[in-house]
């Protein structure tokens, strides 16, 4: 890894524990809108299922929730979107040892973050976690006008650092958006195994697969 000058991360389910964050939001939603229900486990499970690990378009998600869930009084769609923007951000939780690992790597490398999502939501989570200053470069897809796996969003990071792809390594959980996307621009990658299964159609191969961020310290 002598040639590596920058370590670049995905955010959701890599640095941020997206699973726990959305579970926290779900409990807040249930507490606010479903206090009339004696049991809510099925409601919670259905919300999480419909969210599809964060890949469901949020306006569509809340349209579906309004149609499916046993609301006492159905709130306006806009109210739920606003509730999401506040409570989801407020529920942000880091992956175990995420900050410690990033700060340790910063002693050797420049650090970056590339994330798909809405600018206000993604920066909101970053600031809720207090990690904005842990990264030399942060790129959010809405702000950038391009999203993973498009190689152009990875090129933006290379341009910022003034480095070649071979001088950077990218860590993320999504086989297509992260591993394949970064590989297309020429970066080496490390796959963070969380919720997204590997797809055999992917020809890119990560240098390593990890299940915990602390493994990076030994690898890098």
Indicate the pLDDT class of residue 2, thresholds 50, 70 and 90: confident
Which neighbouring-strand residues pair with 209? 191
Give residue-wise pLDDT tens across range 84-139. Answer: 999 999 999 999 999 999 999 999 999 999 999 999 999 999 999 999 999 999 99
pLDDT digits (tens, 9 = 90+) for 4-32: 999 999 999 999 999 999 999 999 999 99
Question: How far is the CA of 176 from the CAs of 139, 147, 172, 198, 204, in angstroms?
Answer: 18, 12, 10, 9, 9
pLDDT tens digits along 59-79? 999 999 999 999 999 999 999
pLDDT band at 156 (very low <50, low <70, confident <90, very high): very high
Residue in 51, 18, 50, 8 with CA at minimum distance from that of residue 178: 8
- Between CA 94 and CA 122 the distance in angstroms is 13
Rounded Cα distance between 66 and 75, Å, is 8
Q: How would you class 39 by CB atoms within 10 Å of its CB: exposed for 0-12, middle for 13-18, buried for 19 or more?
A: exposed
Q: Residue 123 and residue 126: Cα distance in Å, rounded?
A: 5
pLDDT for position 138: 98
Token pair for residue 206? 């990560």
Q: What is the pLDDT of residues 169-200, one digit of tens each?
A: 999 999 999 999 999 999 999 999 999 999 88
Please say whether the dihedral angle defined by the alpha carbons of residues 174, 180, 186 and 192, taken in this order, is positive or negative: positive
In Å, how far from its chain's centre is CA 5?
Answer: 23
């Amino acid at each position: 890894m002598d040639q590596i000058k920058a370590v670049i991360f995905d955010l959701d389910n890599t640095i941020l524990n997206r699973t726990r964050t959305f579970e926290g939001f779900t409990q807040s939603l249930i507490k606010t809108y479903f206090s009339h229900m004696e049991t809510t486990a099925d409601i919670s499970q259905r919300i999480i299922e419909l969210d599809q690990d964060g890949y469901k378009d949020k306006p569509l998600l809340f349209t579906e929730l309004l149609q499916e869930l046993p609301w006492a009084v159905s709130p306006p769609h806009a109210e739920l979107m606003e509730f999401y923007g506040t409570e989801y951000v407020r529920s942000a939780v880091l992956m175990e040892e995420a900050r410690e690992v990033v700060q340790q790597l910063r002693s050797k490398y420049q650090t970056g973050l590339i994330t798909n999502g809405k600018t206000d939501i993604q920066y909101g989570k970053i600031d809720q976690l207090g990690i904005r200053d842990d990264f030399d470069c942060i790129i959010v897809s809405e702000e950038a006008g391009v999203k993973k796996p498009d190689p152009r969003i990875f090129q933006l990071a290379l341009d910022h650092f003034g480095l070649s792809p071979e001088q950077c390594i990218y860590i993320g959980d999504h086989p297509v958006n992260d591993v394949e996307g970064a590989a297309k621009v020429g970066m080496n990658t490390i796959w963070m195994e969380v919720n997204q299964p590997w797809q055999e159609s992917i020809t890119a191969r990560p240098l390593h697969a990890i299940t915990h961020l602390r493994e990076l310290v030994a690898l890098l």
